[in-house]
Chain A
Amino acid sequence: MEPILQCKNLTKVFPGKVALSGVNLEVNRGRIVGLLGPNGSGKSTLIKMCNGLLTPTNGELLVDGNAPGIETKRIVSYLPERTYLNDWMTVRNLVDFFDDFYTDFDKAKAYDMFQRLDIKSDARLKTMSKGTKEKVQLILVMSRNASLYLLDEPIGGVDPAARDYILNTIISNYSENATVMISTHLISDVERILDDIIFINQGSIALVSSVEEIREKNNKSVDELFREVFRC
């Protein structure tokens, strides 16, 4: 089957900075992929281009064979680094908002997850703690039956118990043929749930590998290998 995501010589230049240069990449279906790199390495730029929030300076990016646009937005579920939701909205408002926007949104699934976390449907976003806010957003994003989930730093800034919950939600909710791409630098927290990793550094791909291959070949955890590759 065709890869869900393809980048061909993908380049993005901002004034005074090359954010991505000549990235060639294929991401297959049904995988959980870690997009790992230090701060400023180009992780968010890549994810934003997959969403059509940024356009390539050069090269090509295809999601399910199409350039980012209406067709791809239908099948891509995106958790941005910073929230874009209105904080006066209640959980119920947000669910209706998503349900209205996305045909693949599963309302019952979302309410079920909120209930299990004891998040009330009349609670407003602005009254919630940072951790709860992040959980709410992740639940909304994972309640879609998408083909590609792009999660930009889904576990930054939450406590370890919330991290476990978030990772569990990811494992138990992505549909079988869907791919989940998680960008993070908290590698030891996520590496157990990953199939593959992409190391990215200064706008270039440094390594693409399956996670078990790293453990088998190097007798090292992904975290250890990362520290070696990106030693400052």
Chain B
Amino acid sequence: MNWDLKSDRPIYFQLIEQIELRIISGIYPLGSRLPSVRDMATEAAVNPNTMQRALAELENQGLLYSQRTSGRFVTEDEEVIKTMKYSLAQNIIKEFMEKMRSLGYDFRQTITLLEQIEEEKK
């Protein structure tokens, strides 16, 4: 999974989103230790201070926790992950529905279309 960052939105915000995705997809497993800030910054080719800010924000949200001497870890609490997954899904759906509406599909028509496309795939 590559870091995909765009320059016209705050980088720390995009880092938060992508770290969340990495946690959900198991690249950073529950309870595992994260690489150092500097290594993560180098990998993403961003400023270490920006990476630090993103990680601090994720810590505030309870997704990560620090142990003073041994580094930063992903939470072991599955509930927290579930909540995050749900809110990410909500955002994706909201965005999708907005785009469908701008194409002229209402909610019902969108559902029908979704089913149709799923059917065609089979």
Contact = CB atoms under 8 A, between A and B. Distances in A.
Interface of A: 30-32, 164, 167-168, 171-172, 188, 191-195, 211-212, 215-216, 219-224
Given A171-B38, A192-B5, A215 B45 contact: no
Given A194-B47, A221-B8, 18 more contacts: A30-B49, A31-B49, A32-B47, A32-B49, A168-B45, A171-B38, A171-B42, A171-B45, A172-B42, A191-B7, A192-B5, A192-B7, A192-B45, A192-B47, A195-B47, A212-B50, A215-B11, A219-B8
B42 A221 contact: no
A224 B10 contact: no
Contacts of B38: 171-172
B108 interface: no
B46 interface: yes
B41 interface: yes
B12 interface: yes
Interface residues of B, number: 17
B11 A212 contact: yes
B46 A192 contact: yes
Interface in B40-57: 41-42, 45-50
A30 B9 CA distance: 23
A168 B6 CA distance: 18
A194 B11 CA distance: 11
30 contacts: A31-B49, A32-B49, A164-B45, A167-B45, A168-B42, A168-B45, A171-B41, A171-B42, A171-B46, A171-B47, A171-B48, A188-B7, A191-B7, A192-B5, A192-B47, A193-B45, A193-B47, A194-B47, A211-B11, A212-B10, A212-B11, A212-B12, A215-B8, A215-B9, A215-B10, A215-B11, A216-B10, A220-B8, A221-B6, A221-B7
A219 B9 contact: yes
A216 B10 CA distance: 6
Given A171-B38, A172-B38, A212-B50, A224 B8 contact: yes
A164 B42 CA distance: 10
Interface in B44-87: 45-50
A35 to B, nearest CB: 16
Nearest to A223: B7
Across the A-B interface, the 3 shortest Cβ-Cβ residue pairs: A221-B7, A221-B8, A215-B10
Contacts of B10: 212, 215-216
A211 B5 CA distance: 14
